[in-house]
Copies of this chain bind each other. A is one copy, B any other.
């Protein structure tokens, strides 16, 4: 017969289709379809058994593409990630995956690698694959390139960053609260000069919010009791030259502060690692993990392994190496961010018509050695 001998599955040259199964089971395609969609109550046990057998024999797997084409939904959602290199993104992803899993969705993950052009390309590609919705954590998307998405197009929810001009659900860290939390921590620790270091804003709303909140907290402090001073430094990590320039400036500024207080060892500071005479009074507040890493590497190069005794460091984001390096951080509820994003998206896919919602989740301060005096 045409039945495949049990021991030797000669690797089907062509995947079986629903028609094959129908023939094999001696019935119509409809019944097969019904079986696939779990409409068991409407199938005689006898038929059902035959179908089951046929499916097994043919190792049949329904073609999702075809199903999608027919019913108009393919259970695919797009997940646009600006930078997978950032542990934050990976963690969010885990939440997304878990939620998708739970809701029967399949996330199509697109990694734009910090390239705005890539983001555009992927967004368009996702559209082309007719994803039912997208979760966007992008660097440079503008309202226009997201036009097909969001509004009248496919549902979208933003992660971490708002997109100007686009009304869509958003879920992310409560940036104001987080930056305030961090700033106050540094103030309480008695640091007198605090630099908030952040990447160029591009279109990333969260970066702006964090800076603003930092400024706000600094001002509030000055109003009360403080004399601490806050500064902002923009660091374009994508541009090595710019980074070097900016860090050199930062170094000079730090030297000025130090010399003004203890020894006058300004200039290029020849690894003053072993002179903890002048307790650190300057702190760096990194807006996210990549920035923090860049700063830490620089500080280590400049002050040696004991750089922590010279300048304090605090970072939003809590990468796994923070513990190892002993860096105080503000951990984001990444997993939950991802999970909620999918939930929001799902509601809209299912037709919910609510206004755009914002879901701001709180960060958690994790104090380590880098900010203790």
Residues of chain A having any CB pair with chain B under 8 Å? 9-13, 15, 59, 61-66, 68-69, 74, 84-85, 87, 90, 93-94, 97, 106, 108-109, 111, 113, 124-125, 127-130, 147-148, 151-153, 293, 296-297, 300, 305, 319-321, 323-326, 369
A319: chain B residues at CB < 8 Å are 321
Q: Taking A108-B108, A148-B59, A325-B321 as contacts, is the C-beta distance between A65 and B130 under 8 angstroms?
A: yes
Contact status A128-B64, CB under 8 Å: yes
Q: Pick from B74, B94, B128, B293: contact of A61, CB below 8 A.
A: B128
The complex is assembled from copies of this chain, and their number is 2
User: What's the least CB distance linking A346 to chain B, in Å?
Assistant: 18
How far is it, in angstroms, between the C-alpha of A74 and the C-alpha of B152 when the chains are bound?
A: 27
Q: Pick from B61, B124, B325: contact of A124, CB below 8 A.
A: B61
How far is it, in angstroms, between the C-alpha of A94 and the C-alpha of B113 when the chains are bound?
A: 8
How far is it, in angstroms, between the C-alpha of A107 and the C-alpha of B40 when the chains are bound?
A: 35
A15: chain B residues at CB < 8 Å are 130
User: What's the least CB distance linking A37 to chain B, in Å?
Assistant: 14
Q: Pick from B94, B127, B293, B326: contact of A321, CB below 8 A.
A: B293
Contact status B65-A69, CB under 8 Å: yes
A109: chain B residues at CB < 8 Å are 108-109, 111
How far is it, in angstroms, between the C-alpha of A148 and the C-alpha of B61 when the chains are bound?
A: 11
How far is it, in angstroms, between the C-alpha of A252 and the C-alpha of B293 when the chains are bound?
A: 34
A321: chain B residues at CB < 8 Å are 293, 319-321, 324-325
Contact status B152-A125, CB under 8 Å: no
User: What's the least CB distance linking A83 to chain B, in Å?
Assistant: 10
How far is it, in angstroms, between the C-alpha of A297 and the C-alpha of B9 when the chains are bound?
A: 49
